[in-house]
Amino acid sequence: MQKPRLRRLDWVYSPTPIYFLTVCTHSRAPWLACAAIHKSLVAFCSRGAERGAFVGRYVLMPDHIHLFVAFQPGTITLSAWMKSLKNSLSKVLRAMEKPSPHWQDGFFDHALRSSESYEKKWLYVKDNPVRAGLVSRAEDWPYQGEIHRLEL
């Protein structure tokens, strides 16, 4: 008896993918879940549309950030945008007198393949504060939101 074949993916590449990103603080320092960082993140991501970067949903955890972002073709690159985000948030961390370095080298990125994976990833991400014991319901976590509605 022959095993059933796995179904092929509908598509593998999109010219404008939605990226699932995670960036962590250096040595996982718990500096990010605060009003000042949240305000700065929202401001940076809101201005990103001017440069072709559109941030969808995000969650700030104490020591890392999860977010979804899409880029208009021919504008800023993922690496350049992430460097700019880290620099922007580092200004706030310096004002809070947090010692450098602020960030781990690099970041995790994954290009989503379907609208289902965006929703599935988001459901996992939004429950992070609950799994970490920070709140009992995901909706109660104050450091999350959505800047732009992203669709594949």
What are the pLDDT digits (tens) for 110-152?
Answer: 999 877 788 889 999 999 999 999 999 999 999 999 999 998 7
Q: Apex CA 117: angle with CA 116 and CA 123, to 5°?
A: 95
Q: Is the pLDDT of residue 10 over 60?
A: no
Q: What's the rounded mean pLDDT across residues 29-39?
A: 98
Q: Is the pLDDT of residue 5 over 90?
A: no
Q: Is the pLDDT of residue 50 over 70?
A: yes
Residue 15 or 33, more confident? 33
Q: Is the pLDDT of residue 2 over 90?
A: no
Q: What domains appear along the chain, each with residue ranges and CATH number?
A: 18-146 (3.30.70.1290)
